[in-house]
């Protein structure tokens, strides 16, 4: 390397690591993360991408932008309330506060009055029972699939699970309930057909090998037309007559009826109708953290809680704290988005559209997360050029729009209203990044119905 090679002027690692700002960064980032950022910046200078005098400010900028987690907060402008790819339900303020408080030492299994060990997650259990009065007991595990695995293992390992063929569903990421159940050692006893199952089908299948009857809500699809099914109100008496438990997997996490979703089953009604236990997810319509919730008859819940597998799938203190606060706190973001006022949504959309010169079009949101399939949530969206989607996703804040019919649609249903100004800034930045847009959107010609699905 020549004596006058500018690369000799690149600051050494020890010099950069000794900078006051870098030392402060090492209090929130690991040593390896800091050193990696320093080395990467030095390599950029060696490749000629940075002048030697730019290395130090580049290192400081990289450290300032780096957080300990790589997860990026996103403004959800898709109109899908329970968006699986965005972590499903956003937590309420109460749940977020409880999550932070539970990050330290908490009395998750301790009675502070006596100093002795207590039942784990007693607060979350009490909150669940208060929110679902027909339930005698409750159990929280780490997710909905774990709750189903625990139930079929505790009740039917080595025996038969009687289930309708029309309810052998596949859930997200290719997981199929039949395979999940069979992995527990239980055997499936399929009854009925894809579109029609009758009470007599269940009755004829029950025998000495029956471990439980399983009713699964096909939450991510609908079968219409020449169909027939059997609900807990009829299966419950049949199960009791034969001394076998009835398990209802509701999936979506609705605890009590919601007039906005009249066809969506809820835990309270299923238990009142005859189910012995119901299984639901905490991070869907319940609006809380990822969790599997089991509610029902005390004797059946106790069988699940006492099984060795219960220890392997139990919920941690953060989940228990957030779940309790979700139930005891105010309305969740999920509830607020489901019941958002269409007129208010339109006013917000028109304000954003006017600021960037874009049209507003009708747009139906969706529940998402497998809940209420096919049920529209009428609203409005700001229509931008399709090319705006990529810079919106890459911006800060990151914004996820819906790309449909050659347009980028921004539905504000799931965007908290205090974030409207941040969304506007993100839209302006995205539009200005497009060649020839000069900060303005197209005129929206060609599709005035916008984001109908």
* pLDDT class of 249 with cuts at 50, 70, 90: very high
Q: Which domain holds residue 393?
A: 74-83+335-437
**Does 445 map to a domain?**
no
| 121 & 240 share domain | yes
Domain finish residue from 330, 353, 372: 330
**Among the listed residues 338, 355, 334, the one whose alpha carbon sits nearest the alpha carbon of residue 440:** 355
Give the SS3 label for residue 367.
Answer: strand
Q: Residue 3's pLDDT is what?
A: 57
Q: What is the CA 416 to chain-centroid distance, rounded? A: 17
Q: What is the per-residue DSSP string for 118-187? A: --TTHHHHHHHHHH-TT-SEEEEES-HHHHHHHHHHHHHTTSEEEEEGGG--B-GGG-BHHHHHHTTT-E
| 79 & 195 share domain | no
Q: Residue 436's pLDDT is what?
A: 54
**Does 453 map to a domain?**
no
Q: Residue 440's pLDDT is what?
A: 47
Give the SS3 label for residue 330.
Answer: coil
Question: What is the token pair recorded at 92?
Answer: 């309420």
| 135 & 257 share domain | yes
| 344 & 237 share domain | no
Number of domains in the chain: 3
**Does 452 map to a domain?**
no
pLDDT in tens, 215-235: 999 877 778 889 899 999 999
| 133 & 209 share domain | yes
* Predicted confidence (pLDDT) at residue 446 exceeds the cutoff of 80: no
Q: Residue 223's pLDDT is what?
A: 81
Q: Residue 447's pLDDT is what?
A: 37
- pTM score, whole prediction: 0.90
* pLDDT class of 435 with cuts at 50, 70, 90: low
**Does 425 map to a domain?**
yes
Q: How far apart are CA 383 and CA 77, in angstroms?
A: 12
Q: Are 199 and 231 in contact (CB under 8 A)?
A: no
Class of residue 106 by CB neighbours under 10 A (exposed 0-12, middle 13-18, buried 19+): middle
| 256 & 402 share domain | no
**Among the listed residues 78, 85, 74, 73, the one whose alpha carbon sits nearest the alpha carbon of residue 409:** 78
Q: How far apart are CA 338 and CA 283, in angstroms?
A: 14
**Does 294 map to a domain?**
yes
**Does 450 map to a domain?**
no
| 290 & 396 share domain | no
DSSP 46: H
| 318 & 340 share domain | no
| 212 & 97 share domain | yes
* CATH code: domain of residue 365: 3.90.1150.110
* Predicted confidence (pLDDT) at residue 438 exceeds the cutoff of 70: no
Average pLDDT on 118-141 reads 96
| 275 & 143 share domain | yes
* Predicted confidence (pLDDT) at residue 437 exceeds the cutoff of 90: no
Alpha carbon separation from 384 to 141, 341, 349, 378, 401 (Å, rounded): 43, 23, 12, 19, 10
Q: Residue 251's pLDDT is what?
A: 85
**Does 237 map to a domain?**
yes
**Does 447 map to a domain?**
no
Domain finish residue from 330, 353, 369: 330
Average pLDDT on 42-57 reads 95
Percent of the chain with pLDDT over 90: 87
| 303 & 361 share domain | no
More confident residue, 282 or 8: 282
* pLDDT class of 135 with cuts at 50, 70, 90: very high
Backbone angles phi, psi at 366, to 5 degrees: -140, 155
Strands 407-411 and 377-385: antiparallel
Residue 334, C-beta contacts closer than 8 angstroms, at least 6 positions apart: 81, 82, 89, 90, 284, 285, 286, 287
Q: How far apart are CA 37 and CA 307, in angstroms?
A: 48
Burial 325-335 (b: 16+ CB within 10 A, else e): bbbbbeebbbb
Which residues partner with 399 through β-bridges? 75
More confident residue, 3 or 41: 41
| 146 & 50 share domain | no
Find the distance separating the first CA and the last CA of the chain, reported in whole Å: 62
Q: Residue 7's pLDDT is what?
A: 82
**Among the listed residues 69, 53, 51, 58, the one whose alpha carbon sits nearest the alpha carbon of residue 22:** 58
Domain finish residue from 280, 303, 330: 330
* Predicted confidence (pLDDT) at residue 241 exceeds the cutoff of 80: yes
């Amino acid at each position: 390397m020549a004596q006058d090679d500018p690369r000799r002027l690149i600051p050494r690692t020890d010099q950069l690591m000794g900078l006051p700002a870098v030392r402060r960064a090492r209090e929130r980032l690991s040593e390896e993360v800091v050193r990696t950022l320093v080395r990467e910046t030095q390599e950029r200078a060696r490749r000629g991408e940075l002048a030697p005098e730019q290395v130090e400010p580049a290192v400081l900028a990289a450290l300032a932008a780096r957080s300990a987690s790589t997860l990026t907060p996103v403004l959800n402008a898709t109109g899908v309330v329970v968006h699986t790819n965005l972590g499903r339900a956003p937590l309420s303020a109460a749940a977020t506060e409880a999550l932070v408080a539970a990050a330290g030492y908490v009395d998750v299994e301790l009675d502070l009055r006596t100093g002795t060990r207590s039942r784990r997650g007693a607060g979350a259990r009490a909150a669940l029972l208060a929110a679902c009065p027909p339930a005698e007991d409750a159990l929280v595990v780490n997710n909905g699939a774990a709750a189903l695995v625990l139930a079929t293992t505790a009740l039917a390992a080595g025996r038969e699970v009687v289930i309708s063929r029309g309810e052998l569903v596949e859930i997200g990421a290719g997981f199929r309930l039949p395979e999940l159940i069979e992995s527990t050692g239980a055997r499936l006893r399929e009854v009925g057909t894809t579109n029609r199952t009758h009470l007599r089908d269940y009755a004829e299948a029950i025998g000495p090998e029956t471990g439980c009857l399983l009713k699964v809500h096909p939450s991510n699809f609908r079968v219409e037309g020449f169909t027939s099914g059997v609900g807990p109100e009829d299966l419950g008496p049949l199960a009791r007559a034969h001394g076998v438990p009835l398990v209802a997997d509701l999936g979506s996490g609705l605890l009590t009826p919601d007039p906005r979703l009249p066809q969506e089953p809820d835990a309270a009604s299923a238990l009142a109708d005859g189910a012995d236990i119901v299984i639901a997810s905490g991070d869907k319509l319940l609006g809380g953290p990822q969790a599997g919730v089991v509610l029902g008859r005390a004797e059946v819940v106790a069988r699940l809680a006492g099984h060795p597998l219960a220890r392997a799938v139990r919920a941690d203190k953060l989940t228990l704290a957030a779940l309790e606060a979700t139930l005891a706190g105010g309305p969740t973001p999920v509830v607020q988005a489901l019941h958002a006022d269409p007129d208010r949504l339109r006013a917000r959309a028109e304000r954003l559209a006017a600021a960037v010169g874009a049209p507003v079009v009708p747009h139906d949101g969706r529940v998402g997360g497998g809940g209420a399939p096919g049920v529209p949530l009428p609203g409005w969206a700001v229509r931008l050029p399709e090319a705006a989607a990529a810079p919106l996703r890459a911006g800060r804040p990151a914004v996820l729009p819906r790309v449909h019919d050659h347009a980028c649609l921004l539905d504000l249903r799931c965007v908290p209203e205090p974030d409207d100004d941040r969304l506007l800034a993100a839209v302006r930045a995205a539009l200005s990044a497009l060649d020839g847009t000069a900060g303005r959107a197209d005129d929206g010609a060609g599709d005035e119905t916008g984001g109908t699905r």
